[in-house]
Every structure is written in C-alpha cells, then in structure tokens.
Amino acid sequence: MAVGLGHSTPPALLLKTLDAITQKYIVPIVGDNVFKPSPAFWALTKNGKRFAGGEIVYPLFTAENTQGGAYWGDQLLETAVVDTIQPANQLWRFYRQPVVIPVTDIILNRGAAGLDLVRLKFQEMSSSLLQKLSRALWDVSPQNTSLDIDSIVDWVKSTTNTIAGIDRSVAANAFWKPAANQALGGTFTPAQFESAYQSVVYGFDEPDILLTTHSMYQTLKLNFTTLVRFTGLEQDKQALQAGFRYHFLINNAVVVPDRFVPTGEGALLNSRYIYPTFHEGDYFTVDPFIKPSNQRVVVSTSYLAWQLICPSPRMNVYFTGGPS
C-alpha cells in the first residue's frame, strides 16, 4: 500500500488516518543507474586477470639482431654485443571510492521494516567505482586526468604522445605506434573493417575483440549479416556476460558494444597485447569502518591499484568518425 509517501492514488479513503498508523515498508530494490555493464573489462580479462607487484617495466624487442646468418668453413664469426631491447616503464594508478553513513541513519533503518543500509551503501560504492574504472578505460571525463591510467585512447588512438616513457613523436620510436586510425566517414562496413584488420594482422596472430558504440555495432551487424549466414559458426558463445547471449564474429574478432566508448569511435584490439594489470597488494582493498572524532558518521573506502598495459601497440587499431 503506497500510503504515507505522498502518493495520491492508493485504493484507500482514510489517507491521513492510515498515514498516522500504518507501518511503512520500503521495497529492497536498488536502482540501476550506476550499474551499467562494462564489456571492455570482460573482453580484456576474459582469459583471466593479470596480477603483478613492484614496478611496471617490461622489455621491448625493437629491432632484429642482424648478426648471424650463413657462414662457411673457418670464416671469422662476429660476436659483438648488440643491445636491441628498449624498456617500457609505466606507473601504477590508484583509485578509491568512499562510503560515508550517518550513524543516526543506521539506527533508524534497523529492524525488519527497513533496508539494510550498510549493504545498500556498499553496493553503491562498488557500482560507482565500476563507473569510474570504465570511464578511465576510454579516457572519458572526469577520469581523464594525469592521475588516471593509460587508456585505450592513449594507447591506440594517439600516435604522437609519450607513453610508458617512450616518445612516439620521434621517428626512431615508430615501433611503438599503433596502426593508423581508420576513418569511417559516418558508416561502418565490412570493407572498412577489413582494411583496419589487415593493418594489424600478422599471420595467425590476429585481433580478437572489436569494441564499438551501439550505433556502430548495429550498422556493422546489418551490413555484415547480409553477406553471410548468421549461424552458430559466426557467433561467439563466450560473451555471455557482455549483455547479449551471442555476439557475432568477424574475422574471429567478437564484436561487443560498450556504452562507455566515445561517440563515433571504436577499437579493434588483440587482447594478448593490451590488458589491465592489477596490483596484487591493493586489489579492491576495503578499509574497516572508522568514526571521525567530531562527527557521528562511519567511513570506509575501497581502493584499487591498476594500469592498462600494451606491450605491442601496433597490434591494435582505432576507428573514428563512425555513425553516432
């Protein structure tokens, strides 16, 4: 009965009387405004999450060692030391999400008639943190500051920035650039996809994820399914958590729409070479509740240290100018 909540159309006549004597029951349902799924997280961690400690540094083989090859008899063999490795060094990025609850509210919500306020606020905390992490993946404001992670946009769209300590604007560092952006011109066709795909495929090492906006997903799907039979052979059955039961495959890349992708943009990624790494010492760590000395509130915070790593940017390509 919706009595006592300002509703004017319950099936009751003695509204004021019932308002004074009726125990109110709040339905224990949480709204979903902050529970938007993040398919990018699923796509980049579908084969398992990666954990690390210490500094984020990894060696890059930037050039072929030209020593070696054919020789004959007692030919003098070259043994000079050749240093072909370039270090890439990234910084851990730290994220937090607080939960603050007045003690008086906890007291008033005790009992069978009230919600579990603490549990509700923890759900709000985790889902709000998910929003921030999802925006950070795509460099979306306000999670696009110098304190945020190196995003998909930083890695795959930008070509003249400095990332992991390596300046991409320098010609000698061309190995550290992604494939050139694929301009779509307001549409998204299999031919446009194929052009981008051919720029990043190396033999059997091919991209396996295409993240797009919903408009781009719809456009590509309609264009693609007119060319082939849409059967189980063209569907990816692993993508259950990303929203739909099946997602179609194009050149063995599962196509997944993500509401956090910037309008008109998308990314064709090889998840072997771009993935989030989480610090094993600070993986969704939650502080115990503490009480400030001069306020009757309790405070807790969830923390995460992570970074987006890309040992080989050239295996990925970014789309711009797609349908909005």
pLDDT tens column, 180-219: 999 999 999 999 999 999 999 998 999 999 999 999 999 9
Question: Helical H runs in the chain?
Answer: 15-21, 39-45, 103-108, 117-137, 152, 190-198, 214-224
* pLDDT over 70 at 8, yes or no: no
User: Are the beta carbons of 80 and 68 closer than 8 angstroms?
Assistant: no
User: Are the beta carbons of 242 and 37 closer than 8 angstroms?
Assistant: yes
Whole-model pTM?
0.83
Average of pLDDT values for 106-117? 71
C-beta atoms surrounding 93 within 10 Å: 18
Q: Look at 5-9, 65-69, 116-120, 167-171 and tell me which has the smallest mean pLDDT.
A: 5-9
For residue 32, the model assigns a pLDDT of: 64
For residue 66, the model assigns a pLDDT of: 85
Domain ranges in the chain are 39-58+86-320
- Name the DSSP letter for residue 314: G
User: Are the beta carbons of 35 and 123 closer than 8 angstroms?
Assistant: no
CATH number for the domain whose boundaries are 39-58+86-320: 3.90.1690
**Residue 273 is encoded by which pair of tokens?**
């070479």
Q: Position of tokens 């390509």?
A: 317
Calculate the CA dihedral of residues 12, 16, 21, 27 and round it to 10 degrees.
60
C-beta atoms surrounding 176 within 10 Å: 22
d(CA 37, CA 29): 18
* pLDDT over 50 at 123, yes or no: yes
For residue 2, the model assigns a pLDDT of: 46
Q: Please state whether beta strands 275-286 and 247-250 pair in parallel, antiparallel, or not at all (unpaired).
A: unpaired
Alpha-carbon Rg for the chain, nearest whole angstrom, is: 26
Phi and psi based region of residue 203 (left: phi greater than 0; alpha: psi -120 to 50; beta: remaining): left
Q: Is 230 helix (H, G, I), strand (E, B) or coil?
A: coil
User: Are the beta carbons of 56 and 91 closer than 8 angstroms?
Assistant: yes
Binned at pLDDT 50, 70 and 90, residue 9 comes out as low
Binned at pLDDT 50, 70 and 90, residue 46 comes out as confident
**Residue 293 is encoded by which pair of tokens?**
């000395």
Average of pLDDT values for 262-279? 95
CA distances from 48 to 44, 265, 276 (A): 9, 26, 10
d(CA 177, CA 63): 14
Binned at pLDDT 50, 70 and 90, residue 242 comes out as very low
Q: Burial level of 38, CB count in 10 A (0-12/13-18/19+)?
A: buried
Q: Which helix (H) or strand (E) holds 69?
A: none
Binned at pLDDT 50, 70 and 90, residue 321 comes out as very high
Q: State the average pLDDT for the chain.
A: 85
